[in-house]
Structure 1
Amino acid sequence: MPRTQQLLDDLSGDAHFGVLIMAQLDAVPETLQFIVSAADEIPGQPALVDRRRYVVRAIGVAEHNLSLGLFNTIRILDEHPLLNAYNHDPTALFFRGQPDDASALFIDLMQAYASTFGPWRHPPQYLNTSKPLLSLLQSGGDLLGQMPLSLAQSLAAVLELHGLETHMVSEPLKPDEHGRSRQRKVLILDESYVIAFDFSVEYLGKA
């Protein structure tokens, strides 16, 4: 069984837990390595029983937020709100017009933002902060923000529902200088995460 799948299987189920023991930058640029223990909760045992340990390497790290210690779930995903900024076309969203109720528009925009990102991103990230958002919405027209296409589409729909005109300018994602895709993946350990081009998994010591 591939080691990545073995790691995911080892940590599936209510009685299985993971422990993020350590994380450090690798000698290779933009590479992060960390050690994960797969542990079991066994009736009659006062503590978790360490079953197997893994070394996980994140290659081409773009962003990370890791907390050492116990976690319940692990996932490696190609689609996730955290990846929108990396895998969706960067887009400038402009609007024009005066809303009938700027406060209601403000609330609807915040709800659309939360629906797009859940708990993973928060305003004012991606939004124009040159002035308070409510003032911006009452300005008659401006740049709402520079954001992933998915967020721009969600916010544009809200602006249009409130009678405003919208215009989006997107820049298609391009391969890197070697012709390779810039698409990222994310590894998630509960609320901790690492965004990178790829991940490799090896056993630590004897499997």
Structure 2
Amino acid sequence: MLLDLIDRYSTATISVAQTTYMILEVEGGKIRVDFREKAEAILKPGRGGALTYYTHHPLLDHYNEDKTTIYINSPPNDPEALYIELQQAIASSPQKWVDTQSAYANLDFKSLSIDYTIGKGTIKEVLIQGKGMLLSSVPPSIANRVLAACEKHRLATKTFSEPNPNQYSLLSIGPSYVIAKGFAVHQLQ
């Protein structure tokens, strides 16, 4: 069991990092840790540190929290100012989040800055028309910041929340980590 591993060994070094498992060097041997439905990982062989396990952590919010979709129903007085505040609200979050459905889809903040001035289906169009999906599948912590910015600009908004049945956990080895639905631990000879 993973918690037994952490209780027994407070530190480890990654010797092998693969897509579905890693091998850790611990005092007196090697341990293989298999990942069940891995979502994200930053693992580098040779790096090590304290072994810690989390079920609640800012990195897990994107995976475990319920999701909110935000629509706007009125145009802001100053779309450009609101646009900048929305960028800041999202960028200030410590968690990873990628919007795959709304006007922000497949764009980073640099292209968003350029994108504000061009094109159909962009955030500019949504803000200027004052209607449409602003953001989709947003963790509540980001949704609350975005809604506060919209309220400041007196925008009418509508939100829809969907429960998230996923429960991921985080295993960290110093600065390295894995986010997965579960972990299986095997002692190696």
TM-score, with structure 1 as normaliser: 0.67
2:155 is aligned, of 164, 171, 175, to: 164
Q: Secondary structure at the match of 1:197?
A: strand
**CA 1:127 to 1:36, structure 2 compared with 1: closer, same or farther past 3 Å?**
farther
Deviation of 1:72 (Å): 4.1
Aligned partner of 1:82 in structure 2 is: 59
Separation in 2, partners of 1:163, 1:54: 56
1:155 is aligned, of 146, 149, 156, to: 146
Q: Which has the higher helix share?
A: 2
Separation in 1, partners of 2:30, 2:14: 10
Over residues 50-72 of structure 1, what are the superposed CA-to-partner deviations in whole Å (9 max), with x where a residue is unaligned? 76532222223234343333244
**CA 1:71 to 1:86, structure 2 compared with 1: closer, same or farther past 3 Å?**
same
Greater relative contact order (Cα < 8 A, sep 6+): 2
Mapping of residues 117-128 of structure 1, within 5 Å: 118=94, 120-121=95-96, 127-128=102-103
RMSD across aligned C-alpha pairs, in angstroms?
2.9
Aligned partner of 1:5 in structure 2 is: 7
1:33 aligns with 2:21: yes
Q: Is the 8 A contact 1:114 1:122 kept in 2?
A: no
Matched residue pairs, number? Answer: 171
Separation in 2, partners of 1:147, 1:34: 31
Over residues 73-124 of structure 1, what are the superposed CA-to-partner deviations in whole Å (9 max), with x where a residue is unaligned? 54321123332233122222111222222222122212221232x2x52666
Letter in 2 for 1:196: A
Letter in 2 for 1:186: L
Aligned partner of 1:47 in structure 2 is: none
TM-score, with structure 2 as normaliser: 0.72
2:178 is aligned, of 194, 203, 206, to: 194
* Structure 2 residues without counterparts, runs of 5 or longer: 106-119
Q: Secondary structure at the match of 2:172?
A: strand
1:143 aligns with 2:120: no
